[in-house]
C-alpha cells in the first residue's frame, strides 16, 4: 500500500500560535479548511510540556497528504503512557474525509506507540455516531469496549488495539 500521509510534529512555537488561534508559520503545504487542531489541543500540549512531559507523547502532529504536501488534519497522543496504554486523538478536514487519511494517520500513531517500547495497548475514544472514525479504527484491528459519557454528555466508545495482534497484522 502506498503511503498516503506523513506526520509533521509541531514545535512549541507552532503550538503557541495555534493556542492563540493563529496558523503556525512555515507550514509544509496548503492547509485544508478545518485541518488544523483546535486551540484547546495546543493548550493541552503546552501544559504537558511545561510540566515536563516528553514531547513524543504530548506534541501534536499535522497530517500531511504525501501526494501534494497539503495539511489535511492533525493527530497525536493525548498524554504519556500509563500502565502500558496510551490514548490517541485525530481529526481530518471535512473535504479530506473518506480518503483513508484518518486510517493512515492512526496507523502511524500506533506504529510509533508500539515502537517506543513503552506501550502495549493504544486507546481511541470515538463518538458512537461517528461512522467514519469507527470504520477507521475497525479497519486497523481495534476492538470496541465500553461506552462512556464524557463531561459534555457525548457518548464515546472505547476502542483499543494490543501490540501482539497489531504487529502480527502489520509486520515491518
Q: Report pLDDT digits (tens) over 18-75.
A: 999 999 988 878 999 999 999 999 999 999 999 999 998 988 999 999 999 999 999 9
* pLDDT tens-digit map of 7-28: 999 999 999 999 999 999 888 7
In 3D space, the residue among 80, 72, 83 whose CA is nearest the CA of residue 44 turns out to be 80
Q: 75-113 burial, b if ≥16 CB within 10 A, otherwise e? A: bbbbeebeeeebbbbbbbbeebbeebbbbbbbbbbbebb
Number of folded domains that form the chain: 1
Output DSSP code: residue 97.
Answer: T
Q: What confidence score (pLDDT) does residue 1 get?
A: 47
In 3D space, the residue among 78, 72, 68, 67 whose CA is nearest the CA of residue 43 turns out to be 78
Share of the chain above pLDDT 90, in %: 83
Confidence of residue 164 (pLDDT cuts 50, 70, 90): confident
Supply the pTM of this predicted model.
Answer: 0.92
Which CATH number characterizes residue 48's domain? 3.40.630.30
Instruction: Print the domain residue range for 136.
Output: 5-169
Strands 143-149 and 85-92: unpaired
Amino acid at each position: 500500500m502506498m503511503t498516503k500521509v506523513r506526520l509533521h510534529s509541531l514545535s512549541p512555537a507552532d503550538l503557541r500560535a495555534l493556542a492563540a488561534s493563529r496558523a503556525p508559520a512555515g507550514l509544509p503545504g496548503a492547509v485544508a479548511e478545518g485541518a488544523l487542531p483546535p486551540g484547546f489541543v495546543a493548550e493541552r500540549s503546552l501544559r504537558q510540556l511545561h510540566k515536563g512531559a516528553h514531547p513524543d507523547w504530548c506534541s501534536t502532529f499535522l497530517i500531511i497528504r504525501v501526494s501534494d504536501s497539503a495539511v489535511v488534519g492533525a493527530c497525536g497522543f493525548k498524554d504519556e503512557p500509563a500502565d502500558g496504554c496510551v490514548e490517541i486523538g485525530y481529526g481530518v478536514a471535512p473535504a479530506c474525509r473518506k480518503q483513508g487519511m484518518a486510517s493512515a494517520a492512526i496507523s502511524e500513531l500506533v506504529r510509533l506507540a508500539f515502537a517506543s517500547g513503552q506501550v502495549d495497548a493504544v486507546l481511541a475514544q470515538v463518538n458512537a455516531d461517528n461512522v467514519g472514525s469507527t470504520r477507521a479504527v475497525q479497519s486497523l484491528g481495534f476492538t470496541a469496549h465500553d461506552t462512556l459519557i464524557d463531561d459534555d454528555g457525548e457518548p464515546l466508545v472505547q476502542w483499543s488495539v494490543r501490540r501482539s495482534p497489531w504487529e502480527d497484522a502489520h509486520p515491518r
